[in-house]
């Protein structure tokens, strides 16, 4: 039995402590935003914020995050459903193609901008290691800069 | 112009299929040109008014557009909804939603792809019969960059027809002539009296009216939506992380399945050595051998199913392919290039005589590309329910509801069940690239569902199964020869490709009949170079079978042939001491459309401006999917041989463009796909088995490797052409040409690497970056 906070809600899950957080989210809690893309911490489709840090949930055993606060892409929009600055930048730049990888990119970007408010291209290259098979990278880069600029105005 | 919406339609369809005599009786070409039998009569469906097969209006005036095309990232739901909104005369905003219809009306059939004809140009008895037959078969598929090409006109007519019916309903209600009415913003207005009625108010009456025979289409000069970038209708849900993909399906009582396929394709399951152990693993409900060829584990969660599947100890039968390696495949292809009797696709003039008579040395080069796989971001999956009463339903991120229907029938059939009906729900696809047109995973899930009746079974292939045990782009090699004339341009061009017939491989898995391997269009596309003025031309192909399951793969034959041919044209230019751009201009002198695209990309890239040492520029052009696309690539080659693609410039004539931003996105995405392929991708074989298994050894481009991309869309008089695949096509050749410009070295095989070692090192570089 593991207790943790998912998108602000306290939950208790009864499951094997070795089950990856990704599959607890997707199967036990029906939080389907984080995606399975590789299962080996390569693609980033499963990324969530664990106590504010972006982490691949596919290799994070649920037992290791007891008591943690986990935020998935579903938890980014504000009260009333307004998109987060990063999500809105994703719409404004028309980033997604198929969209399967995008929850992971949006999470990784949210964490990046928390740590580095005005990332350079080199810092983006360093921090954003997710895979997008559809090749939306030029737009992701633009959307990150756009979100950074909007956050700076606040 | 054919009509798409007719109340008489159904009757004619029924009769026509009754016998060829009747087809012949109505076979006058003039009649056929004007008759259409694809219509769905308007009707009421609960609160909704169904005006035709494509347009549904709710009482609150919201419009639902039925788009029988899979959204897999290309933006087709948006593009085709734009067309309907334009003709319906409504703003393109969130009052419009798009659904993939579950019905298989003939109006949704993808007949134009198979018949290779645009609906607006279709007429005559062959087209008429082809449409009838394909419509009745429920042939609905998304691919071949053909969705806008094939659907934009029918959907225009559908929008215009619906608007006409709304006008007629308003005219009747207000008792005024329809000619005095105008539409706009979702209302019909009578200016003289100031009265107005919303579409929602009128739709139920409109739906029951006779559709017009030839609804007038809005002239292009009045378009306000077509040709102006609109935001994608599917993106809000996608950035919120809403469950829109096949993998996200969650149903009551659902069980989950994982699977293991044979390491050597064609091997059979001799025995599951430890079945009892696997059955005893936590959560496991079933261990099933499917069709003697694969083993699935069904459990209460996918994680448990996958954990248990990884315990499986399966004894596989030996096959002839057990010893096959990539080196041996390569040798087989090279041997085939020496074939004395390849299939002759084109033979114009006399290539051999021209080569023999030429005074300049023959240019003769051999190229090669490896097997590849799609690696769609969403791993392959399907969810199927077979109810106790044998009514079935499937939810699949698929490119084809027909493939779903057939897959369910096949899989259930293997379990001895014949479903009474199959409802096909096509979800959003997390990438497809041709991969999701096969029935394979659907049949597997259906087999399991038939064993677990009453429970939905969701089968997910692990990424390892997807990369190593799935479907592949063929391994191919080509020998190209040319003799140059006094002006340096080719007098003779002789192309021979050796590869496995793509069409035959796909048909053997998915169709009841399998064509012979020769004359496979997909194997030779990109090889003919018909747009280049060359007096003697021969194009031949040699089928080389393998045990590998070959499938559609974004741009098919173009993905290798254009690499071969556009590299080769550069080699010819070099031999002629000509600038590669000037050389192509000369070859395209009779083709103004191609020339314009070539000139545009050269201008965009500032072709001819000097570059620093170690840097180079390469160019390539192709005509594909009725579009003409050209690219210039800039590379940097480091001292140690590391290749970086810095910038890619792209110009495309895609005909009339509905949603320009979506075309730019497809070029950007296609270029990324092409650069990944050119620099990183290879599926290799050892002992008959694929050696790669996940993104650590089948690496993908990441943002740090992604070049800057600049796209120019040409003004064009052509109707819409394909854009999903063309962006991929010229990239590899343009990079190879740029590497030559930078280093003087010609690389004739993919992935491009200065040396083997550097190829390996590149993979490790990518990995190291991720690990830290
Ligand atoms: S699924 Fe976790 S990184 Fe790919
Ligand atoms: S949008 Fe399809 S994988 Fe990124």
Residue B436: is its pLDDT beyond 50?
Answer: yes
Average pLDDT, chain A: 97
Question: What's residue A108's pLDDT?
Answer: 98
Q: What pLDDT band is residue B661 in, cutting at 50, 70 and 90?
A: very high
Q: What pLDDT band is residue B755 in, cutting at 50, 70 and 90?
A: low
Q: What pLDDT band is residue B12 in, cutting at 50, 70 and 90?
A: very low
User: Domain spanning B338-372+472-767: which CATH class is it, in words?
Assistant: alpha beta
Q: What is the distance in A from the centroid of ligand 1 to the CA of A130?
A: 9
Q: How far apart are CA B224 and CA B549, in angstroms?
A: 46
Residue B759: is its pLDDT beyond 70?
Answer: no
Mutate which: B74, B82, B239, vs A, most A CBs within 10 A:
B239
Q: What pLDDT band is residue B768 in, cutting at 50, 70 and 90?
A: very low
**B375 shares contact with chain A (CB less than 8 Å):** yes
CA distance B231 to chain A (A): 7
Nearest CA in chain A to B238: A99
Question: What's residue A102's pLDDT?
Answer: 98
Question: What's residue B221's pLDDT?
Answer: 97
Residues near A85 by Cβ (< 8 Å), separated by ≥ 6?
A: A147, A150, A151
Q: Is the CB of residue B428 less than 8 Å from the CB of residue B244? A: yes
CA distance A153 to chain B (A): 23
Matching fold, domains B246-317+380-460 and B338-372+472-767: yes
Q: What is the distance in A from the centroid of ligand 2 to the CA of B147?
A: 20
A residues 94-123 closer than 8 Å to B (CB): 94-103, 106
In chain A, where the domains are located: 2-75, 79-153
Question: What's residue A53's pLDDT?
Answer: 98
| Least CB–CB distance from B706: residue in A33, A43, A138 | A138
Q: Which two tokens stand for residue A79?
A: 């009260």
Residue from B70, B72, B73, B665 whose mutation best tests the ligand 2 pocket (most atoms within 8 A of CB): B73
Average pLDDT value for residue range B57-84:
98
Residue B763: is its pLDDT beyond 60?
Answer: no
Average pLDDT value for residue range B280-295:
98
Contacts of B694 in chain A (CB under 8 A): 38-40, 42
| Percentage above 70 pLDDT, chain B | 92
Question: What's residue B252's pLDDT?
Answer: 97
Nearest CA in chain A to B239: A87
| Pairing, β B63-66 against β B96-99 | parallel
> Could you give the C-alpha distances from B257 to A20, B59, B305, B309, B380, in angstroms and in order?
17, 42, 6, 9, 12
Question: What's residue B23's pLDDT?
Answer: 32
> Could you give the C-alpha distances from B606 to A144, B585, B594, B633, in angstroms and in order?
29, 16, 18, 11
A residues 8-37 closer than 8 Å to B (CB): 16, 19-20, 23, 27-28, 30, 32-37
Question: What's residue B38's pLDDT?
Answer: 60
Backbone angles phi, psi at B659, to 5 degrees: -125, 90
Q: Is there an atom of ligand 2 within 6 Å of A132 CB?
A: yes
Q: Which two tokens stand for residue A80?
A: 């009333």
Cβ-defined contact of B430 to A83 (cutoff 8 Å) = no
Q: Is the CB of residue B112 less than 8 Å from the CB of residue B118? A: yes
Average pLDDT value for residue range A1-17:
96
Residues B685-707: tens digit of each pLDDT: 999 999 999 999 999 999 999 99
Q: How far apart are CA A147 and CA B16, in angstroms?
A: 59
Q: How far apart are CA B381 and CA B404, in angstroms?
A: 12
Average pLDDT value for residue range B233-251:
98
Mutate which: B281, B303, B399, vs A, most A CBs within 10 A:
B303
Average pLDDT value for residue range A71-92:
96
**A74 shares contact with chain B (CB less than 8 Å):** yes
Q: What is the distance in A from the centroid of ligand 1 to the CA of A58?
A: 5
CA distance B151 to chain A (A): 20
| Pairing, β B48-50 against β B43-45 | antiparallel
Question: What's residue B135's pLDDT?
Answer: 84
Cβ-defined contact of A19 to B303 (cutoff 8 Å) = yes
Q: Which residue's alpha carbon is at the smallest distance from atom 4 of ligand 2?
A: A132
Cβ-defined contact of A137 to B72 (cutoff 8 Å) = no
Q: How far apart are CA B345 and CA B735, in angstroms?
A: 28
Residues B714-730: tens digit of each pLDDT: 999 999 999 999 999 99
Report the residue count for chain B: 772
Question: What's residue B35's pLDDT?
Answer: 35
Q: What pLDDT band is residue B17 in, cutting at 50, 70 and 90?
A: very low
Q: What is the distance in A from the centroid of ligand 1 to the CA of A24?
A: 14
pLDDT greater at residue B352 or residue B119: B352
Residue B643: is its pLDDT beyond 50?
Answer: yes
Q: Which residues pair with A48 in a beta bridge?
A: A55
Residue B531: is its pLDDT beyond 60?
Answer: yes
Kindly report the CA angle at B518 between B515 and B519, in degrees rounded to 5? 95
Q: What pLDDT band is residue B37 in, cutting at 50, 70 and 90?
A: very low
pLDDT greater at residue B45 or residue B39: B45
Q: What pLDDT band is residue A76 in, cutting at 50, 70 and 90?
A: very high
Contacts of A147 in chain B (CB under 8 A): none
Q: Name the nearest CA neighbour of B483 among B357, B347, B570.
A: B357
Q: What pLDDT band is residue B7 in, cutting at 50, 70 and 90?
A: very low
Q: How far apart are CA B396 and CA B246, in angstroms?
A: 5
Question: What's residue B741's pLDDT?
Answer: 97
Q: Is there an atom of ligand 2 within 6 Å of B379 CB?
A: no
Nearest ligand for residue B669 CA: 2
Q: What pLDDT band is residue A133 in, cutting at 50, 70 and 90?
A: very high
> Could you give the C-alpha distances from B143 to B99, B177, B454, in angstroms and in order?
18, 44, 33
Cβ-defined contact of A124 to B430 (cutoff 8 Å) = no
Question: What's residue B756's pLDDT?
Answer: 54
Average pLDDT value for residue range B123-147:
87
Q: Is there an atom of ligand 1 within 6 Å of A38 CB?
A: yes
Q: What pLDDT band is residue B28 in, cutting at 50, 70 and 90?
A: very low
CATH topology of domain A79-153: DNA polymerase; domain 1 (1.10.150)
Contacts of A40 in chain B (CB under 8 A): 463, 694-696
Nearest CA in chain A to B727: A135
Question: What's residue B129's pLDDT?
Answer: 83
> Could you give the C-alpha distances from B375 to A143, B430, B433, B467, B689, in angstroms and in order?
25, 10, 9, 6, 17
Residue B147: is its pLDDT beyond 90?
Answer: yes
Residue from B374, B377, B665, B668 whose mutation best tests the ligand 2 pocket (most atoms within 8 A of CB): B377
Q: Is there an atom of ligand 2 within 6 Å of A99 CB?
A: yes
Give the lowest-confidence range in A104-113, B109-118, B717-726.
Answer: B109-118
Question: What's residue B2's pLDDT?
Answer: 36
Residue from A73, A94, A108, A132 whose mutation best tests the ligand 2 pocket (most atoms within 8 A of CB): A132
Q: How many CB atoms lie within 10 A of CB B405?
A: 22
Nearest ligand for residue A103 CA: 2
Position in ligand 1 atom list of the atom nearest CA A130: 3
Q: Which residue has the tokens 């290749």?
A: B643
Average pLDDT value for residue range A90-108:
98
Q: What is the SS3 assignment for B83? A: helix
H or E element, residue B677: helix B660-680
Burial A52-61 (b: 16+ CB within 10 A, else e): eebbbbbbbe
Q: Name the nearest CA neighbour of B195 among B170, B158, B165.
A: B170
A residues 38-67 closer than 8 Å to B (CB): 38-40, 42-43, 45
Q: Is the CB of residue B747 less than 8 Å from the CB of residue B736? A: yes
Average pLDDT, chain B: 92
Question: What's residue B754's pLDDT?
Answer: 58
Give the lowest-confidence range in B132-141, B303-312, B612-621, B667-676.
Answer: B132-141
Give the lowest-confidence range in A105-114, B33-42, B253-262, B341-350.
Answer: B33-42
Q: How far apart are CA B528 and CA B259, in angstroms?
A: 42
Q: How far apart are CA A12 and CA A19, in angstroms?
A: 14
Q: Is the CB of residue B642 less than 8 Å from the CB of residue B766? A: no
DSSP state, residue B267: -
Of the options 3.30.365.10, 3.30.830.10, 3.40.50.280, 3.30.420.240, the CATH number for the domain spanning B246-317+380-460: 3.30.365.10
Residue B771: is its pLDDT beyond 70?
Answer: no
CA distance A64 to chain B (A): 17
**A139 shares contact with chain B (CB less than 8 Å):** yes
Question: What's residue B575's pLDDT?
Answer: 97
Question: What's residue B653's pLDDT?
Answer: 98
Question: What's residue B111's pLDDT?
Answer: 86
Residue A119: is its pLDDT beyond 90?
Answer: yes
Residue from A26, A34, A45 whose mutation best tests the ligand 1 pocket (most atoms within 8 A of CB): A45
CATH of the domain spanning B35-104+140-240:
3.30.365.10
Question: What's residue B132's pLDDT?
Answer: 82
Residue B10: is its pLDDT beyond 50?
Answer: no
Q: Which residue has the tokens 């095309």?
A: B69
User: Domain spanning A2-75: which CATH class is it, in words?
Assistant: alpha beta
Average pLDDT value for residue range B131-146:
90
Residue B489: is its pLDDT beyond 90?
Answer: yes
Q: Is there an atom of ligand 2 within 6 Å of A97 CB?
A: yes
Question: What's residue B24's pLDDT?
Answer: 31
In chain B, where the domains are located: 35-104+140-240, 246-317+380-460, 338-372+472-767
B residues 39-98 closer than 8 Å to A (CB): 72-75
End-to-end Cα spacing for chain B: 61
Mutate which: B241, B383, B398, vs A, most A CBs within 10 A:
B241
Q: Which residue has the tokens 């739906």?
A: B207
């Amino acid at each position: 039995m593991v207790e943790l906070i998912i998108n602000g809600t306290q939950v208790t899950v009864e499951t094997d402590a070795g089950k990856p957080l990704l599959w607890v989210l997707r199967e036990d809690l029906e939080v389907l935003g984080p995606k399975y893309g590789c299962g080996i911490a390569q693609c980033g489709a499963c990324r969530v914020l664990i106590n504010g840090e972006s982490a691949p949930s596919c290799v994070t055993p649920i037992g290791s995050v007891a008591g943690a606060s986990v935020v998935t892409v579903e938890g980014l929009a504000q009260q009333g459903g307004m998109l987060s600055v990063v999500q809105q930048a994703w719409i404004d730049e028309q980033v997604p193609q198929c969209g399967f990888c995008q929850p992971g990119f949006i999470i990784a970007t949210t964490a990046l901008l928390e740590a580095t408010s005005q990332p350079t291209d080199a810092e983006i290259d360093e921090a954003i290691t997710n895979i997008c098979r559809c090749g939306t990278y030029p737009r992701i880069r633009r959307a990150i800069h756009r979100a950074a600029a909007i956050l700076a105005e606040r | 112009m054919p009509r798409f919406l007719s109340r008489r339609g159904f009757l004619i369809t029924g009769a026509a299929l009754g016998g060829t005599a009747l087809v012949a009786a109505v076979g006058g070409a003039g009649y056929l040109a004007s008759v259409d039998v694809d219509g769905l009569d308007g009707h009421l469906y609960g609160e909704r008014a169904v005006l035709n097969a494509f347009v549904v209006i709710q009482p609150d005036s919201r419009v639902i557009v039925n788009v029988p095309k899979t959204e897999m990232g290309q933006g087709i739901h948006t593009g085709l909804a734009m067309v309907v909104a334009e003709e319906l005369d409504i703003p393109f905003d969130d009052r419009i939603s798009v659904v993939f219809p579950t019905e298989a009306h003939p109006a949704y059939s993808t007949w134009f792809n198979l018949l290779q004809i645009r609906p607006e140009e279709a007429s005559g008895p062959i087209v008429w019969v082809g449409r009838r037959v394909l419509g009745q078969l429920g042939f609905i598929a998304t691919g071949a960059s053909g969705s806008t090409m094939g659907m934009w006109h029918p959907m225009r007519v559908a929008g215009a027809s619906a608007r006409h019916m709304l006008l007629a309903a308003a005219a009747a209600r207000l008792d005024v002539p329809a000619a005095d009415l105008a539409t706009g913003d979702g209302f019909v207005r009578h200016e003289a009296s100031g009265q107005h009625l919303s579409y929602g108010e009128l739709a139920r009456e409109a739906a029951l009216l006779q559709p017009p025979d030839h609804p007038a289409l809005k002239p292009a000069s009045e378009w306000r939506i077509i040709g102006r970038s609109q935001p994608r209708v599917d993106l809000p849900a996608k950035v919120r992380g809403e469950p829109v993909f096949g993998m996200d399906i969650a149903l009551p009582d659902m069980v989950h399945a994982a699977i293991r396929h044979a390491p050597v394709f064609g091997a059979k399951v001799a025995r599951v050595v430890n079945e009892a152990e696997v059955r005893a693993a936590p959560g496991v409900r079933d261990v099933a051998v499917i069709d003697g060829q694969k083993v699935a584990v069904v459990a209460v969660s996918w994680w448990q199913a996958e954990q248990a599947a990884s315990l499986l100890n399966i004894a596989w039968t030996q096959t002839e392919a057990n010893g096959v390696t990539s080196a041996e495949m390569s040798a087989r292809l090279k041997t085939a290039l020496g074939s004395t009797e390849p299939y002759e696709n084109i033979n114009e003039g006399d290539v051999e005589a021209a080569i023999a008579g030429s005074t300049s040395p023959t240019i003769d080069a051999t190229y090669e590309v490896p097997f590849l796989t799609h690696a769609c971001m969403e791993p392959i999956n399907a969810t199927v329910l077979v109810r106790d009463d044998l009514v079935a339903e499937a939810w699949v991120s698929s490119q084809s509801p027909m493939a779903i229907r057939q897959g369910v029938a096949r899989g259930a059939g293997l379990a001895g069940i014949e479903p009474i009906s199959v409802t096909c729900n096509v979800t959003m696809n997390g990438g497809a690239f041709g991969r999701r047109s096969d029935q394979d995973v659907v049949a597997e899930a259906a087999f399991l569902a038939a064993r677990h009746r009453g429970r939905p079974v969701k089968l997910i292939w692990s990424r390892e199964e997807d990369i190593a045990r799935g479907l592949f782009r063929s391994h191919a090699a080509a020998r190209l020869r040319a003799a140059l004339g006094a002006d340096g341009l080719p007098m003779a061009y002789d192309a021979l490709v050796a590869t496995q017939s793509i069409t035959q491989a796909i048909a053997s898995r998915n169709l009841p009949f399998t064509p012979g391997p020769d004359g496979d269009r997909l194997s030779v596309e990109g090889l003919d170079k018909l747009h280049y003025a060359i007096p003697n031309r021969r194009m031949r192909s040699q089928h080389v079978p393998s045990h590998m399951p070959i499938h559609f793969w974004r741009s098919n034959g173009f993905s290798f042939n254009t690499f071969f041919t556009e590299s080769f044209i550069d080699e010819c230019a070099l031999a002629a001491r000509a600038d590669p751009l000037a050389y192509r201009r000369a070859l395209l002198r009779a083709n103004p459309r191609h020339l314009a695209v070539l000139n545009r990309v050269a201008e965009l890239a500032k072709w001819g401006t000097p570059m620093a040492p170690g840097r180079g520029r390469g160019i390539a052009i192709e005509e594909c999917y009725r579009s003409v696309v050209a690219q210039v690539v800039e590379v940097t080659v480091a001292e140690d041989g590391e290749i970086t693609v810095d910038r890619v410039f792209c110009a495309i004539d895609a005909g009339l463009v509905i949603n320009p931003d979506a075309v730019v996105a497809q070029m950007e995405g296609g270029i990324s796909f092409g650069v990944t392929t050119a620099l990183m991708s290879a599926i290799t074989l050892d002992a008959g088995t694929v050696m790669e298994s996940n993104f650590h050894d089948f690496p993908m481009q990441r943002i740090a490797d992604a070049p800057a991309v600049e796209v120019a869309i040409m003004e064009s008089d052509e109707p819409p052409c394909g854009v999903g695949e063309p962006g991929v096509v010229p990239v590899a050749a343009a990079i190879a040409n740029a590497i030559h410009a930078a280093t003087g070295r010609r690389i004739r095989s993919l992935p491009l690497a200065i040396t083997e070692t550097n190829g390996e090192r590149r993979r490790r570089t990518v990995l190291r970056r991720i690990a830290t």
